[in-house]
Chain A
Amino acid sequence: MSEKDLIEGCIRGKRKAQQLLYERYAANMLAVAARYSKSLEEAEDVLQEAFIKVFQKMNTYEGKATIGAWIKRIVINTALNNQRKKLYEHPMEEVGDSNYKDEQDILLSDFSFQELLEMIQALPVGCQMVFNLYAIEGYAHKEIAEQLQISEGTSKSQYARAKKLLKAQLLAEEKKAYEKAG
């Protein structure tokens, strides 16, 4: 079934089309949701909520972006909404030096996907959101600031902090692996 047929089927509420669309995108979208969550269970909740929205709002899909990009956008927004509740309790603030630079090169290819995911999930919520949006999704700090209703400076400083924490984790893991190898 073509993507167009899938979309039309979903608009008409066809169960089979919805299931096929889900099966086509669910795994990738769960990986996206996992980056914005603290656990796999939480990520699955986000995925479930996001796909319900996808099926309910399918008639608003205009075809400007690919269906995959549109679904991803919904997954990210759903995840951000969930995390926003946590940010009510611990609002993001400008922290440390936003111009943190560490030129020490670390190769991520030495690490598994699961290890990298756990490092991201271990970040404080604010750092996690900003890091995902900036480093992986490719948003500018100005856009992130608007989305998360924070200042651009806060976005930059949170990102710098995330980067610092991740590099520390990466170095620690490297050191462990080096010691293990003897």
Chain B
Amino acid sequence: MKKPDKTSRTQFEDQWQAAFDQASISPSPSVWNNIEQEVHGSGKSRKMIAFWVTTGLAACISILTSIQTMEYLKTDAPLEYEDTFQQQAIARHTPLQEENVLSLKESTFSTSNNASGDHNPPSQYQTIYPSASPVHNNVMALTEEVEEEIRIEKVLRQTLQDGPTHLAITKPQPRRNVIFSMPPQTDALPMSASVVTAQGTGSTSPTLFSRSLEHSASSDLVPVEESYFNDQRSSIASDHEYERSLTFSIGGRITKAIGKGFSVQTGLDYTALSYNGNGSYLLKHQDGSHSTLEGHQINHSSVASSDGYTKTLRQQRIAIPVEVGYNLLQRKRLHLNAYAGISTNVLLDQQFETSLEEQVKENPFENEFEGVYASATGSLELGYQFHPKALLTVAPYAQKAITNVTEHPITIEEQKPSFYGISLGLKILL
């Protein structure tokens, strides 16, 4: 420390210096007690660190456990049923015959109403799947469910004939079939037929079949799915995709410094998500009615198509992050911090807009895109300290889902997607 030039100092300064030179004030005993407590282990800050770390870990574990439990409940948890005959005889397993029950030749496709009421599927079906695609996945899910229904019926029939059988049934997974979420363009099409087919509701027997073709003769669109319920038949070709706009989040954080530049924080973020989709489709429907002309049966059908339609899905996302941060830089009131952690995200309240306005009102899938997922998060935060205890922050962030986002539109193609955005917020320093 340099002493100032003695000539610049006056008697005034010297007097003040002398007045306080050996000054002393006795501190209260509580000061030493507090120091001792802080320095020797049971200090407040150490308690706070332990509290934050424990709380953070507990929150992470409980969030992940809850999400995993929710996902487990949604998946194909095998359910074991034992029929009523089991008490009467020794259970025995009846192996199922491998039979490609879903194969259908083109010639049998336009089958008329089956008056006999026999809903057994024809044996000459065949299935041709398109290359792997979101639509393909949905077709696969649909096909598996139909196979399961048929298998169950076969086992039940065999049980009645042969005696008690141990029957394992796989609970069908709730389906989110993109193909059928697209409404037809014309009111002439009885969409209910295909919707019923897709949902499988009201079906009492295995008369539900589905197949996919590699292409449609009348359209360049791929893939094509055909589905039919008894003698009603729908075929649809579609091609569409979603793009996500850059998202902006607003939120708040409370942060506690834990020393050596590190901090822990939690808070709440609100994000308005927007997904813009566009595509084309062609839908052909036969309602089962037919007429006869010169001895030939003619099936009645209608066709609807749309080229270049648009759709926008708007959603809200609430996120609760738990993060650890490190201070990279601090200059006057500017702070630069890096954060990493996990976040619990809740997707809610979707609004669906499309150029196909009439049918959107009837869209039965309107409330499907909701869900909870966990993600790993990272952000680089620039903060301006406008108050000793508060900062305004802007932070580019990246998120990677670590649990499946099962009902999010973008996850039609990716189950654990990445998200990017910019977060604006208010931060309170503890």
B349 CB-CB contact with A under 8 Å: no
> Given the interface contacts A22-B32, A27-B26, A139-B4, does A52 sit within 8 Å of B38 by beta carbon?
yes
Interface residues of A in 16-35 (CB under 8 A from B): 18-19, 22, 26-28, 30-32, 34-35
Whole-angstrom distance between the alpha carbons of A49 and B20 in the complex? 22
Residues of B within 8 A of A44 (CB): 27-28, 30-31
> Given the interface contacts A139-B1, A163-B12, does A116 sit within 8 Å of B388 by beta carbon?
no
How many chain A residues have a CB neighbour from B under 8 Å?
Answer: 46
A85 CB-CB contact with B under 8 Å: yes
Stretch at the interface among A1-9, A105-113, A121-129, A174-182: A105-113
Contact A140 B2 (CB under 8 A): yes
User: Shortest Cβ distance from B13 into chain A, in angstroms?
Assistant: 4
Whole-angstrom distance between the alpha carbons of A143 and B18 in the complex? 22
Q: Count A-B pairs with CB separation below 8 Å.
A: 105
Query: Which residue of A is nearest B38, CB measured?
Result: A52
A66 CB-CB contact with B under 8 Å: no
B93 CB-CB contact with A under 8 Å: no
B36 CB-CB contact with A under 8 Å: yes
User: Shortest Cβ distance from A35 into chain B, in angstroms?
Assistant: 7
Interface residues of B in 3-17 (CB under 8 A from A): 3-5, 11-13, 15-17
User: Shortest Cβ distance from B333 into chain A, in angstroms?
Assistant: 7
> Given the interface contacts A52-B38, A89-B387, A113-B19, does A135 sit within 8 Å of B13 by beta carbon?
yes
Contact B388 A48 (CB under 8 A): no
Contact A108 B31 (CB under 8 A): no
Interface residues of A in 93-141 (CB under 8 A from B): 105-109, 111, 113, 116-117, 134-141
Residues of B within 8 A of A113 (CB): 19-20, 23
Whole-angstrom distance between the alpha carbons of A10 and B68 in the complex? 51
Residues of B within 8 A of A136 (CB): 13, 16-17, 20
Residues of B within 8 A of A149 (CB): 332
Q: Is the interface of A mostly helix, strand, loop or mixed?
A: helix
Residues of B within 8 A of A43 (CB): 25
> Given the interface contacts A31-B24, A113-B23, A135-B12, does A143 sit within 8 Å of B2 by beta carbon?
yes
Contact A52 B31 (CB under 8 A): no
Query: Which residue of A is nearest B3, CB measured?
Result: A138
Residues of A within 8 A of B32 (CB): 19, 22, 26
A171 CB-CB contact with B under 8 Å: no
Residues of A within 8 A of B388 (CB): 85-86, 88-89
B160 CB-CB contact with A under 8 Å: no
Contact B40 A48 (CB under 8 A): no
A-B CB contact pairs (8 Å), 10 listed: A26-B32, A27-B26, A28-B22, A30-B27, A47-B31, A52-B38, A55-B35, A134-B13, A135-B17, A143-B1
**Pairs A-B, 6 closest by C-beta atoms:** A85-B388, A27-B24, A31-B23, A108-B15, A135-B13, A140-B4
Having A52-B39, A108-B16, A140-B3, one finds 19 other A-B pairs with CB under 8 Å, namely: A19-B32, A26-B31, A27-B27, A28-B23, A28-B24, A30-B27, A47-B31, A48-B34, A51-B35, A88-B333, A105-B11, A116-B20, A134-B13, A136-B13, A136-B16, A136-B17, A138-B3, A143-B1, A149-B332
